[in-house]
Amino acid sequence: MKLKTTLMATGATLVAAAAFAQDNMADSMTVVSWGGAYQNSQVKAYIEPYVANNPGLNVITDESSAEAVTKLRAMSEAGNITWDLVDVTAADGLRLCDEGLAMEIDPDEILADAPDGTPASEDFGNTLVGDCFIPQIVFSTTFGYRTDLLAEAPTEICDVFDTETFPGKRALERRPIGNMEWALICDGVAIEDVYDTLETQEGVDQALAKLGTIKDDVIWWSAGAETPQLLADGEVVMGSTYNGRLFSAIVEQDQPIGMLWDWQMFDLDGWIIPAGLPEDRLARVMDFVKFATDTQRLADQAAYISYGPARASSAPLVGQHAELGVDMAPHMPTDPANAINTFLFNFEWWASYRDDLDAQFQAFLLQ
């Protein structure tokens, strides 16, 4: 009897606390992401279950992540922040944090612990970049190749630069990031020396000269969807893009494309909360973020898209694709078999040198 009363009392307190929390939270929330299959995976894994728990909540989705920095800057200048939660790459997150446009967070305070009690800061580990970024996924920029158009399958990144053994066009992104690193690695520079080398003019010239050896065989892309299309059309025999795009082409569309994971470039994607939100909206967003970045939710997202969860504790929970039933683990960039040679996109370094290298890269393209 006594136990029952205690339980009931606790229950009543919990319900009251929940109701109180509900009162303090806005009943509408604008979530900004990238659109397409990626945003869909977020809707399925985070937003739909959250709305099921919080009936009456109106979630507005926006697809403006590509222009997030510019738009948040304009919103901040106008003094009217209309977004509650924004999905950005780590580099953009770092920049928004630098500019004071994103709210600083304490991961252990606002994010859920792992099921075994590991604090969030430890569970997320080195994916926590800067003071504002709340990581979700690890994705990589890597290469796919046509299995039927090449006499032998490329096995290492430097095969991209070998047009004799692997004739045909290649698709590379029209920006220096990634390409410069790969060029130097294939020109004999050790991975740990790559960024030091790129800080010197000789290093930049060396990387551009290496890219120059295949320049006539390159189609430069600017949208991630271009490479899968170019591969499917047979326009190129190999090309770089985000690994999730290649997964769709291979598994969902059954294209004759193979993955070349060697020296894939890891990148992170996650949330930032815009600085200066009113209290009720902030309370709502904090509640959502805690839910959406817990171990199970991040693992759930991997059932819809082949990007690795940013939490270590989510990895063992990654199961099968929600519709196709294939095992997702081998398609994850973080899978041990795929992650033999990798490097992490050096956000801070590129934040300092991007403008300069981009100008030189454009000049190289114009020659």
Partner 1 sequence: MPEIPTGYDMSDATLDGPVLSADGKPLKQSLNNALRKQKLRALVLIAPLLIFVLVSFVAPIGSMLMRSVQNTAGVEYVPDLLPNVVVAIQDWDPSTRETPPEAVYRAMAIDMATAFENKNHTQLGRRFNYEVPGISSLFRSAGRPVSRWDIATDGPFKEKFLDLNDGWGDVEYWAAIKANSGYYTSSYFLAAFDAQRGIDGITMKEPDQRIYQKLMVRTLGLSLLITFCTLALGYPVAWLLADLPLRTSNLLLILVLLPFWTSLLVRTSAWKILLQDQGVINDFWIALGFTERMTLINNQLGVVIAMTHILLPFMILPLYSVMKTIPPSYLRAAKSLGASNWTAFWRVYFPQTTAGIGAGALLVFILAVGYFITPELVGGADGTFISNRIYFQFAVSGNWGLAAALGTLMLLVVLILYFVYDKLVGVDNVKLG
Residues making contact with partner 1 (CB under 8 A): 66-67, 69-70, 73, 77, 95, 98-100, 169, 174, 199, 215, 218-220, 222, 233-235, 348-349, 351-360, 362-363, 365-367
Paired strand residues for 270: 88, 135
CB of 76 to partner 1, least distance (A): 8
CB of 121 to partner 1, least distance (A): 19
Cα 27 from Cα 22, distance rounded (Å): 8
CB of 356 to partner 1, least distance (A): 4
- DSSP assignment of 227-260 equals HHHHHHHTS-SEEEEEHHHHHIIIIIS--SEEEE
End-to-end CA distance of the chain: 85
Q: Nearer Cβ to partner 1, position 282 or 357?
A: 357
CB of 287 to partner 1, least distance (A): 26
Q: Nearer Cβ to partner 1, position 206 or 338?
A: 206
User: Could you tell me which of 239, 266, 260 has the C-alpha nearest to residue 342?
Assistant: 266
140, 264 Cβ separation under 8 angstroms: yes
Cα 179 from Cα 194, distance rounded (Å): 12
Tokens 């780590």, residue located: 90
Q: Is the dihedral of CA 266, 292, 32, 69 positive or negative?
A: negative
Tokens 């430890």, residue located: 122
Q: Nearer Cβ to partner 1, position 114 or 357?
A: 357
Q: Nearer Cβ to partner 1, position 168 or 258?
A: 168
171, 227 Cβ separation under 8 angstroms: yes
Buried b (16+ CB within 10 A) or exposed e, 109-132: ebbbbbeeeeebeebbeebbbbeb
CB of 351 to partner 1, least distance (A): 6
Q: Nearer Cβ to partner 1, position 15 or 215?
A: 215
Q: Nearer Cβ to partner 1, position 63 or 113?
A: 63
CB of 175 to partner 1, least distance (A): 8
Q: Is the dihedral of CA 151, 182, 172, 219 positive or negative?
A: negative
Cα 345 from Cα 90, distance rounded (Å): 9
CB of 221 to partner 1, least distance (A): 10
Region at 292 (left for phi over 0; alpha for psi -120 to 50; beta for the rest): alpha
Q: Nearer Cβ to partner 1, position 21 or 351?
A: 351
Q: Nearer Cβ to partner 1, position 217 or 280?
A: 217
Token pair listed for 235: 């326009």
CB of 265 to partner 1, least distance (A): 18
CB of 2 to partner 1, least distance (A): 54
Q: Nearer Cβ to partner 1, position 235 or 335?
A: 235
